[in-house]
A and B are shown apart, each in its own frame.
Chain A
Amino acid sequence: MEYRILLVEDEEAFHTLIHNFLALVKKHTFTVHSALNGEEGVEMYGKLANDGQKPDLVLMDLRMPVMDGVEATKRIIENDPEANIYLFTAYAGTEEESNALKAGAKRTISKGADWNRTTEEIVNILEELK
C-alpha cells in the first residue's frame, strides 16, 4: 500500500529516523511530509488536503516552538474533523497530552527508545485505516 504521513516535529533527528525506519518496511510505500512546528503543520495539512493529497496519518509532537501540538491539533480538526492525528510524544500522562486528546487527537504513539515498536505501531494504525 501507499501511505501519506505528515510529521509535525521540531527535532530534525526524528524526521530522519522516521524516514529511515519506514524505508525499512518493505510491504508498503510511505511519503513523509515534514513540518517543523505546529503552524507549518496546519498549513501543510491544508495544502495537502486541497491538492487531494490528504495525509492518512498526522504524527504530532506536543512541545514545539511557534505553535504547540495542542493548538495545531485544534486547528486541523476544526477544518477537518476526520483528520487522523496521533500524538508523537516521549512522555505520556501530561496535561498537554490530555488537552490534545480532548481537541480530537486519536491517541499517543510513544516516541521512546525502542524504534522497532514505534514503527510497528505506525504501520498497524495505517493498515487498520484502509
Chain B
Amino acid sequence: MEEDNNNKNPKILIVEDDERLGKTLSDVLEVKGYSPIAVLTGKEGIAAVKEEDISLALLDLKLPDISGIEVLKEIKKISPRTEAIILTAFASLDTAREAVNLGAFSYLQKPYDMERLLLDIRRALERKWAEEELRTFAETYSDICNRSPIAIVNVYRDYRVDCTDRLLEWTGWSREEMEHINLVKESRFINASGNEVVLPPLVAAEMIEKTEKGYIPKLMRGETLEGVYQCYNKKDGGTVPLELNSVGYFGGKEPKPENFVHTICILSNITERKRVEAKVKEAYRLRENFLKETTHRIITPVAIIGGYTDLLLKSCNLDEDQKEKIRIIRERNEEVQKLTRDALSEKYLKEEEEEGGEG
C-alpha cells in the first residue's frame, strides 16, 4: 500500500461509475506510461488501495455506494501518501474545499479538459516524489544525528533551543520540556496534564554570564567557538559537562547580527574527561600536601642541627681539625635546607591546571 517509490509506471486508481468514461481515461493513462486500475464503486476503490501500491487516485464524487469524499478519507487513512484528484459533474465550492482539506491535490469539474487532467496528475506525482525524497533525506539525517555520539543543538535569538535526542539523554529533559526550555532564563509552560511546569535555564548559573554576554554575541557576529567548556543543567538537579564547538547560521546571508538565525552547536559529553581531570587534580593536591608536610618536617631538624653546629663552633674550645669537621656538617646541613626551601617554592609545587575554555 505504501511507497511506490519509483517513477516507473506509477499505479493510478480510477474510481468512476461511468464504465465508458473510466475505460477512456484508463486507455489515455496507459498510453502516457501509467498503470491504471479502473473500478466502479467506492468500496472497490478502497479495496484496491489496500491491495496495491497506488500512487494517485482519481475519484468521482458521485458514486453508487459511498461518496467520493468518504472514499478520499479512507484512502488517506490507509495510505496517507497516495495523492488524490477529485472529478465531478456537480461542483460546489464547499465540497471542493472539503476535499482539498482532506488532502486532495486538486478538484476538476466534468467535463474536464484531458490535457489539464494529465498536467494535474503529473504535478501531483511530482509533489509526492519530492516529498518522499525530502522525507527519506530528513529521516536518514535525523537518524544519523540522533544516533551520533555528539549532540547537535540550535540556539535561536530568543535563546530557545532545538536539539537532537542525545542532549535529552544527557540532561534527562523530555522532548516536550526541551521545546519550552530557555538557554539562559527560567521558563514556564502548562504541560499535557494542565500543570504549570517551571524549567531552569539550560546552562548552569556560573556559565550564563559567558553565554549571554560572550558566546552568543560572538556567534551572532559570525565568529566561531571551539572547544568551549559548558555545564548544562540536568533534570535531576545536577549538571553535565559538555564541550562546545559552534558557528552561527545566517540563512546564506552575510554573517552579521541582523542576519543571525540560530547557532549550530556540536556538543560532546566530557563527563569522563572531567572525572579524570578531577582525579589528576586530586593527585596533584595530594602530592603537594605530601611534599609540603614532608619538607616542613625536615626543616625543623635541619634548623636544630644548624643551631647546634653554630653553638659548637662559637662556644667550645675546639681545635682547627674539629672545627673543620663541624663546618662540613654545617655546610651539608645548609644544602639540605636549601633543597627543602626549593621543594617548597611555588615552581615545584604548582602544576599548570588550565581550564579549557575562553572568556
Residues in chain A within 8 A of chain B (CB atoms):
11, 13-14, 17, 20-21, 24, 63, 90-91, 111-116
Q: Is B305 engaged at the interface, CB distance under 8 Å to the other chain?
A: yes
A22 to chain B, nearest CB (A): 11
Q: Could you tell me which B residues sit within 8 Å of A by CB distance? A: 295-296, 299-300, 302-308, 310-311, 314-315, 330, 333-334, 337, 341, 344
Considering the complex of A and B, which 7 residue pairs feature the smallest CB-CB distances, nearest first? Answer: A113-B306, A17-B307, A115-B310, A90-B299, A13-B304, A113-B337, A115-B307
Cross-chain contact A14 with B304 (CB below 8 angstroms): yes
Query: In whole angstroms, how far apart are the Cα atoms of A20 and B305 in the complex?
Result: 14
Q: With the chains together, A112 CA to B295 CA distance in Å?
A: 13
CB distance from A26 to the nearest CB of B (A): 12
B299, A17: Cβ atoms closer than 8 Å: no
CA of A115 to CA of B299, assembled, Å: 14
Q: Which residues in A have their C-beta under 8 angstroms from that of B302?
A: 90, 113
Pair B307/A14 contact, Cβ less than 8 Å: yes
In the bound assembly, the distance between CA atoms of A14 and B314 in angstroms comes to 17
Nearest residue (CB) in B for A18 is B307
- Tell me whether A91 and B299 are in contact (CB under 8 A): yes
Residue pair A17, B304 in contact (C-beta under 8 Å) = yes
CA distance A14 to B307 in the complex (A): 8
Supposing A17-B311, A90-B299 touch, asked if A115 and B341 sit within 8 A by C-beta, the answer is: no
Q: A24-B314, A113-B333 are in contact. Are A13 and B296 (CB under 8 A)?
A: no
Tally A-B pairs: CB < 8 A: 52
**Chain B residue at smallest Cβ distance from A11:** B300
| Most A-side CB within 10 Å, residue of B307, B308, B337, B344 | B307
In whole Å, how far is B337's beta carbon from the nearest beta carbon of chain A?
5
Contact between A11 and B304 (Cβ–Cβ < 8 Å)?
A: yes
* Complex interface: chain B residues within 8 A of A113 (CB): 302-303, 305-307, 330, 333-334, 337
Q: Which residues of A contact B303 (CB under 8 A)?
A: 14, 90, 111-113
Given A24-B314, A114-B310, A116-B314, A91:B296 Cβ within 8 A: yes
Closest to B341 in A: A91
| Complex: A4 Cα to B219 Cα, angstroms | 70
Least distance between A32 CB and chain B CB atoms (Å) = 14
Chain B residues lying within 8 Å of A14, measured Cβ to Cβ, are: 303-304, 307
The chain A residue sitting closest to B336, CB to CB, is: A113
Instruction: Write the nearest CB–CB distance from B281 to chain A, whole angstroms.
Output: 19
Contact of B315 among A24, A90, A91, A112 (CB under 8 A): A24
**Interchain nearest-CB distance for B329 vs A (Å):** 11
User: In the assembled complex, which residues on chain B have CB atoms less than 8 Å from the CB atom of A116?
Assistant: 310, 314
Across the interface, which residues of B come within 8 angstroms of A91, CB to CB? 295-296, 299, 341, 344
Contact of A20 with B337 at beta-carbon distance under 8 Å, contacts A91-B344, A115-B307 already known: no
Q: Complex: how many Å from CA A17 to CA B305?
A: 10
